[in-house]
Amino acid sequence: MKDTAAPYVTTDGRQIGDVLMDMRGITLRFGGVEAIKNISFDIREGEIRAIIGPNGAGKSSMLNVISGFYNPQEGEVWFRGEKRPAMKPFQVARLGIARTFQNIALFDGMSVLDNIMTGRLTHMKTGMLSQMIWKGRAEREEVENRAVVERIIDFLEIQAIRKTPVGRLPYGLKKRVELARALAAEPKLLLLDEPMAGMNVEEKEDMSRFILDVNDEFGTTIALIEHDMGVVMDLSDRVVVMDYGRKIGDGTPSEVRNNQEVIDAYLGVAHD
Amino acid sequence: MLYREAGDFKTTYAADSQTFPIAFDRWRYWAVLAVAWLVIPFVIDDYWANAILVPFLIYSIAAIGLNILTGYCGQVSLGTGGFMAVGAYSVYKLMTAFPDVSMLIHVVLAGFITAAVGAAFGLPSLRIKGFYLAVATLAAQFFLVWLFNKVPWFYNYSASGQISAPERFVGGIAVTGAGTAPAAQYLICLFFVTLCALLARNLTRGSVGRKWMAIRDMDIAAEIIGVNPLTAKLSAFAVSSFFIGIAGALFFAVYLGAVEVGEAFGIQKSFLVLFMCIIGGLGSIFGSFAGAAFLVLLPVALKVLGVDLLGWPSSTVAHLQLVAVGALIMFFLIKEPHGLAQLWRIAKEKLRLWPFPY
């Protein structure tokens, strides 16, 4: 089994760079339950990396380790060539890692625009005093960041709902707003936890196109969890397969598709 | 007909994010300010100042303060009365220690002292939420009132245990003490209301306000986009207490003149300000004004109606007032949790299209 690939060029001609995130021997326990057992894999700059596996395999736990919700008992997380100490989620966010959630986690009381503007918070530095005065630094910063947010609004085609309270939006649009909020942070690594869960075919196609466009236009590295195999195989450059907290496969979609262990995990094996 | 956004195009992001995007609203705002500053001071008399306008202005500041904490940041507080007491006693100590310094500076300093105390009592919010936090702030309320009763240093060892405001000046005009003109009382309160509302509005529309609202709506998601819950919650407590401290200082020095802490800043005060926020509208600066106006005017209106017009005994009217407030709280919690501000917003949405249905 091939664990790491050197920098390479994808079939559609995108240059995949150095290792951005390196997970080394991660083990995560909840009491006596080992959710993740000694898993290592890396994510390279510019690639779309999928994490797949049956329910309860530990995929979301893995994403939570990357985004700082859980700190693993064993193993090291390396980001941009440096070992990352145990961190709180907001510190991880400041390193340039943004994510979306499986069940949407938007701020229901705020408008779409304000929700996406929260994604810029790591970039907004003016102190409370200048904010109170508003005119001058705070307003300038607000306008600069608004311009960034407006580009993302254009990109994801949600101009019409800018001022709508998020609570009133349908599910598919909420997912898109959540992606917009994550993108507004201009992350180096974007984590998507089941971006297509509960969508119909048309919405899935839209979302897939947005993910590819994000990767293409902004050069954002993306790690995603997804259950729809068709989507995973089409979108991703490399795939990690997990089952019962172990890694059972790692490689390009075609390699993974032909891996006997992966096939067994998904289809089950006859016990004789 | 006037209330339209059509034709009022925004060409910059700055213009789009202003407080009153609709031109008519802007004019109304300037008109209200002009009347408040240029007309009312000349016509105000003692009854209007003491029964209605001064308490309304002071409670507006307190409600803005609590609204920042509870409405914007989602941290329920029942310690408002205690924090108002901190403002009152701070300003009293400052007034008596430095008699020559302008009252404006004293009141602002009292706000800063209250902000520090508020941030300290906000520390439990990092660990506990909701009801449990409300109870923790309740502890602050009782502790602070007990402290100001118990330690004679706070009331300058006066025999009665009360504090009373000596005469102090702003630019040669008395604003506290027995000989204060109603217009002076009114103007110093109006000055702080205008200032506080402006500061609060600026804070809540920018990145600090978004941090607070993110914590309120979903704290886990807030953390994942880079909001440090510690600084966000403590800053909300500090800013909220700053306003509440100013309100407490004015309530004691300008409005009442003499204060017994348990009576003026007891738990009822905490509930009164919380009710103002709920009835006015959580998460709205306008709502703070609406709620304060409503709860200041309600007893006056009931008294005029019940005692003066219908001739009922005043005790009956006082009881009726409690019933009415209780019923209103329940009505708003069930029917319109966003309060008067939301009703106002709906009315404005309708007005934008009126007289057409679409």
ipTM for the complex shown: 0.89
> Are B211 and A121 a contacting pair at CB < 8 A?
yes
Partner-chain residue, chosen from B13, B213, B216, that has the shortest CB–CB distance to A143:
B13
Q: Does position A1 have pLDDT exceeding 50, yes or no?
A: no
Choose one of A184, A201, A216: the last residue of a domain: A184
Of A89, A109, A139, the CB nearest to B283: A109
CA distance B332 to B345: 15
Q: What is the pLDDT of residue B171?
A: 81
> Is residue A101 assigned to a domain?
no
Q: Confidence class of residue B266 from pLDDT cuts 50, 70 and 90?
A: very high
CATH class of this structure's domain B44-353: mainly alpha
pLDDT-derived band at A2 (thresholds 50, 70, 90) equals: very low
Q: Which domain holds residue A48?
A: 1-96+187-272
For residues A264 and A129, state if they share a domain: no
Residues 215-234 of B with CB under 8 A from A: 216-218, 220-229
Q: How many CB pairs under 8 A join A and B?
A: 109
Q: Which of A164, A184, A204 is the C-terminal boundary of a domain?
A: A184
Chain B environment of A114 (Cβ under 8 Å): 210, 213
User: Total domain count for chain A?
Assistant: 2
Contacts of B226 in chain A (CB under 8 A): 90, 93-94, 121-122, 185
To test the contact with chain B by mutation, choose from A118, A129, A144, A159 the residue with the greatest count of B C-beta atoms within 10 A, namely A118
B105 closest CA partner among B56, B197, B168, B193: B168
Q: Is A241 helix (H, G, I), strand (E, B) or coil?
A: strand
Q: For position A223, what pLDDT does the model report?
A: 96
Q: Are residues A2 and A92 in the same domain?
A: yes
Q: Select from A87, A90, A101 the residue whose CB has the most chain B CBs within 10 Å, as the one to mutate to test that interface.
A: A90
pLDDT category at A63 given cuts 50, 70, 90 is very high
pLDDT tens string B49-78: 989 999 999 999 999 999 999 999 999 999
Nearest CA in chain A to B238: A128
Mean pLDDT in residue range B209-220: 94
Domain end residue (candidates: A159, A184, A209): A184
Does A57 map to a domain? yes
A131 and B CB contact within 8 Å: yes
Q: How far is CA B212 from the centre of its chain?
A: 18
Q: Do A107 and B199 touch (CB under 8 A)?
A: no
Whether residues A118 and A88 share a domain: the answer is: no
List of residues 6+ apart from A247 with CB closer than 8 A: A39, A40, A41, A240, A241
Q: Are residues A69 and A142 in the same domain?
A: no
- Which residue of chain A comes nearest to B215, CA vs CA? A107
Contact status of A79 with chain B (Cβ, < 8 Å): no
A44 vs B227: CA distance, rounded Å: 27
Report the range of poorest mean pLDDT among A113-127, A181-195, B336-350: B336-350
Shortest distance between the Cα of A271 and any Cα of chain B, in A, equals: 43
Which tokens belong to B4?
């339209």
Q: Would A74 be classed as within a structural domain?
A: yes
pLDDT digits (tens, 9 = 90+) for B113-151: 999 999 999 999 888 888 899 999 999 999 999 999 999
Pair (A249, A165) in one structural domain: no
Same domain assignment for residues A1 and A87 = yes
Residue A252 pLDDT greater than 70, yes or no: yes
Q: Which residue has the higher pLDDT, B265 or A271?
A: B265
Q: Do A7 and A90 have their domain in common?
A: yes
pLDDT band at B232 (very low <50, low <70, confident <90, very high): very high
Helix ranges (DSSP H) in chain A:
59-66, 89-95, 112-118, 128-133, 137-155, 171-184, 201-213, 229-235, 253-257, 260-267
Lowest-pLDDT range, B182-191, B242-251, B322-331? B322-331
**Which of A118, A132, A182 has the CB atom closest to B210's CB atom?**
A118
Distance from CA of B341 to the nearest CA of A (A): 14
CATH for A231: 3.40.50.300
Q: Compute CA distances B247 → A24, A50, A129, B242, B264, whole Å.
A: 56, 56, 20, 9, 13
Chosen from B67, B207, B216, B338 to mutate, greatest number of chain A CBs within 10 A = B207
- Asked if B224 and A121 come within 8 Å (Cβ–Cβ), the reply is no
Cβ atoms of residues B186 and B58 within 8 Å: no
Picking from A105, A119, A132, the nearest residue to B220 by CB comes out as A105
Beta carbons of B206 and A93 less than 8 Å apart? no
Residues 6+ apart with CB under 8 A from B269: B80, B81, B84
Is A124 in Cβ contact with B207 (below 8 Å)?
Answer: yes
> Cα–Cα distance between A127 and A199 in angstroms, integer?
41
By C-alpha distance, the chain A residue nearest B18 is A139
Per-residue pLDDT of A166-219, as tens digits, reads 988 999 899 999 999 999 999 999 999 999 988 899 999 999 999 999 999 999
**A261–chain B Cβ distance below 8 A for any pair:** no
- Peptide bond between residue B355 and the one before it cis (omega within 30 degrees of 0): yes
Q: Residue A4 has what pLDDT?
A: 53
Chain B nearest-CA residue for A94:
B226
Prediction pTM value: 0.91
Taking contacts as CB-CB distances below 8 angstroms, the residues of chain B near A181 are 225
- DSSP single-letter state for residue A165: B
Q: Both A2 and A52 in a single domain?
A: yes
| Beta-sheet pairing, A15-16 with A8-9 | antiparallel
Residue of A nearest to B13 (CA): A143
Which chain B positions have a beta carbon within 8 Å of A187's beta carbon? Answer: none
User: pLDDT at residue B350 above 90?
Assistant: no
In a domain, residue A103? The reply is no
Q: Are A191 and A100 in contact (CB under 8 A)?
A: yes
Q: What is the pLDDT of residues B164-194, one digit of tens each?
A: 999 888 888 888 888 889 999 999 999 999 9
**Interval A126-164: pLDDT, tens:** 888 889 988 888 999 999 999 999 999 999 999 999 889
User: Confidence band (pLDDT; 50, 70, 90) for A225?
Assistant: very high
| pLDDT tens, position by position, B289-323 | 999 999 999 988 888 888 888 888 888 888 888 89
Taking an 8 Å cut-off on Cβ atoms, the answer to whether B227 and A121 are in contact is yes
Confidence of residue B245 (pLDDT cuts 50, 70, 90): very high
The answer to whether A198 faces chain B, any CB pair under 8 Å, is no
